[in-house]
A and B are shown apart, each in its own frame.
Chain A
Amino acid sequence: MGIRLNVNGEVHELDVEPDAPLLWVIRDELNLTGTKFGCGIAACGACTVHVDGKPMRSCSVPVGSVAGAQIKTIESLGAAALTAVQQAWIDHQVPQCGYCQSGMIMAVSAFLATNSDPTDDQLAAAVTNICRCGTYPRIRAAVRALASAKVQVHS
């Protein structure tokens, strides 16, 4: 029994168990490795993708539950040109090891699409992804800059 999965606008027929984690299907079946494995229990956010525009931690999403949904990964962001969030990440020199940043950028992009001028507290409440390198001060600065430039972010 196949599962139809729409990832980055492309539809895939996949022969996988419905309870296979979306993360590993994206990584191992579709070879999209920008989405990362960090904890496996939706605690760190490294695997964040957009499902119908909403940020979801794909390590804990059974693939069967999102068949038919529009799934977007980091690879779809900036495919043509860098998004405002990605550019702000470069301007503020946010990433260090970079491993958490795909998930971080996906989480921040989805959040800014719902609140383009957040307070620091609102940002921190919404974006609970873990970065072990400690890029938080620059994430905050990048988001402040996007907010003050009144950038519209679409997820």
Chain B
Amino acid sequence: MITRRMFLVGGATTAGALIIGYGLWPSRRLAEADLIAATSGERFVANWIKIADDGVITVVIPHCDMGTGIFTSLSQMAADELDADWAKVRVETAPADPLFANGALVEGFAFDQMKSSADSIPAMLRGPAANSLRFLAEKLDVQTTGGSSAVRFTGVYGMRVAGAAAREMLMQAAAARMNAPIGEFHTGLSRVIHSPSGKSFDYGELASAAAGYTPSSHPKMKNRGEFKLIGKPVPRIDIPAKVQGGVQYGIDIKAPEMLYAAIRISPTFGGKLVSVGEVPVANSRGVKKVVKLDDAVVVVADRFWRARNAVNALEPNFDGGANRDVSSKSIRDSHLAALANEKIKKDRTQGSGADALKQGTVVERLYNVPYLAHAPMEPVNATALYKNDGSLEVWSGTQDGLGSRAFCAKAAGIHLDKATFHLLPMGNGFGRRLPGQWNFLTYAVKTAMAVPGVPVKLIFTREQEMQHDFYRPNVTSRLRAALNPECMPVAWVNDYTTDDDPNPQAHIVYDVPNQAYGTVKVAAHVPTGPWRSVEASWHGFFVESFMDELAHQAGRDPLEYRRALLTHKPRHLATLNLAAEKAGWGTPVSAGRGRGIAIFECFGTIVAHVAEVEVSDDGMLKVHRFTTAADCGMAVNPDGFKAQMESGIIVGLSAALYGEITINNGAVVQQNFPDYPVVHLADCPDIEVYVHESDAPLGGAGEPGVPPVAPAVTNAIFAATGIRIRELPVKNHALGKTARQAASATVFPEKQLSFA
């Protein structure tokens, strides 16, 4: 069963052959695509690839641009197989139309989840199987960008295959034109060349005829050694416009006669709007309408600042309902009570599971991570036009164009055919704009329906964005291990809170013979959602902190201890060793400094960080340096991959050092950047990234850098101070001399859960 959740979470491992794919469009569908997304003089030759008469090749990307560079890397993958001249390659966002549903993404996730590959399907069934997956993508409205999936799924299963198929079709067209066998032709730099005569044709002049051939479902693909663009640090296509303020993001859309809207939502989650109070904003300049929604009030005006000033002037009365007494303390208490009563739902067991705790000295620790906001630079927004004929048009930056279209149609209560959605670039997402978190679309559609015939742009202020996000969950984990006389773990037991299903990312790769995983479900009135690296963002901290504690308990070097447990995992071992070597692990550090190491695999990529920190006597922390090694199989764009590692480190560091959403009276306390601090230039460590290439399938880039950041830092803080941080963020902990004297590795007291 394929669910939407798969697209957001992904597996711990990636199966799948590197170069297998199919599911190409027959010519009938190419013609349909031309009607939707081709201009005169250009046409689709295969899925996602248009070639114009003048030889310009446009790669049409079924993803959003939220800054990770996938428009460039996916174009590299298509253009490489196509043997295209990179100077002639352009890029476009795919329309939010079912024809452009991302079947390759479904294919990738399906194989990933089944731990299988296309090789396992008999050749004769591959075409029908691929068509089924494409059909599924259409039915599920899948154009998702998430799960670090663009390159490893869309690229591998879609772009490369489409490029290779289009290349073959161009060769067929040339062969027909010269009435020569296709075996006499080869390609290079956007030309088909007749090898014996040397006569050649530009792709542009062949494109029209090529589009008439049926694409092969399994075209000949290149080997790694044959790549010309894949594996090269090609400059990003989108960057020149981004240094000139020239990109039109969702917030920049302007339509004739457009109005603006500002919103105030019930601060308490689940609360209802009772009244908007007596303040007469309706007479304020530019104000057009005050819209009362079930749980929010919206002011529509001719300019955004007027709408915002008016909505802020209102004194709305909300009924907080059942959640008004929820606080961070009540949530924490509920986690501790749930874990203490030991009504654990078993997830997975290996060997003798928890029974093996009897086989050695038990170490027990409790860890917690707080709620986190995504805090994208561009606050969520959407522009909606509800026309008088009952149709709807919406413009926004979301992480799923096709899904957004279906969602907006449903929100408006209209038939899908009457909804149009325009997907725009966004000021990053980190998961905020994924399906399931589209409150901004709902409010924009409902506001537009209150002023039919006029486009309305609804923008969340930073305060509304901060207080009405879908947060990285607050998670508590109770970890136990039994150590044998050599102080190596013989049992590993992780029981943790969840407001959802069990987390596959909890499962460790370390060679511990007996393992058990269990969950306790906790009530969650705070809306939660995927946050960059999802479950790995907490399990990375739990696992790598606890492993570090075990190493110190054993009196062993944390690197050497991990190595001893990873001898069966050569890629992990190599990645760990590379990071350690480049960081100078084992060499002396200056006074007050310490190094910490952590490694985690998610979304198909293994990342190891070594953090070097300094803590002053009065407790001031400075993170000086990050040394990172990553194995993603092969980086399609090595510089782009490094940029994503840097990005993951900075986002992970913001979370580890400062990130914390707290709850009072059922509402978020934090409002804006001053009380939800993030890393600035002044906090930014020096970062070195090393890619360890392997023959593994391509891994993701956007998320895998994040999970080992926090434990690398807290392990380094322990090395520098002896203070073990088990509850994030770091800012809540005293690290000065006094605190160090009080710090001791207290063994977890039985039945009294605490973070000491």
Contacts and interface: CB of A to CB of B under 8 A. Distances in A.
Interface stretch (B19-27, B347-355, B642-650): B642-650
Interface stretch (B104-112, B197-205, B231-239, B402-410): B231-239
A78 B248 CA distance: 18
A40 B239 contact: no
Interface in A58-89: 73-75, 77-78, 82, 86, 89
A101 B430 contact: no
B647 A133 contact: yes
Interface of A is mostly: loop
Given A128-B682, A133-B647, A75 B243 contact: no
B244 A44 contact: no
Contacts of A36: 249, 251, 377-378, 427
A123 B682 CA distance: 8
Given A98-B67, A134-B650, A37 B251 contact: yes
B680 A28 contact: no
Contacts of A89: 239, 243
Contact of B639 (A37, A40, A93, A124): A93
Contacts of A82: 243-244
Contacts of B66: 97
Contacts of A138: 643, 646
A130 B687 contact: no
Contacts of A44: 377, 673
Nearest to B241: A98
A74 B252 CA distance: 15
A98 B246 CA distance: 10
A137 B67 contact: no
B428 A99 contact: yes
B591 interface: no
Interface string A85-112: 0100110011111111110010000000
A124 B654 CA distance: 16
Nearest to A95: B242
B303 A28 contact: yes
A97 B245 contact: no
B672 interface: yes
Contacts of B647: 96, 133-135
Contact of A95 (B243, B252, B672): B243
A89 B235 CA distance: 11
B261 interface: no
A100 B427 contact: yes
B679 A136 contact: yes
A145 to B, nearest CB: 15
Interface of B: 65-69, 235-236, 238-249, 251-252, 254, 260, 285, 303-305, 308, 375-379, 425-428, 430, 459, 461-463, 639-640, 643, 646-651, 654, 672-674, 678-682, 684, 686-687
15 contacts: A33-B252, A39-B673, A41-B674, A43-B673, A43-B674, A90-B239, A93-B235, A95-B67, A97-B66, A98-B247, A124-B680, A130-B377, A134-B679, A135-B647, A140-B681
Given A37-B378, A132-B654, A134-B648, 7 more contacts: A33-B252, A93-B239, A93-B643, A96-B428, A98-B427, A99-B428, A136-B679
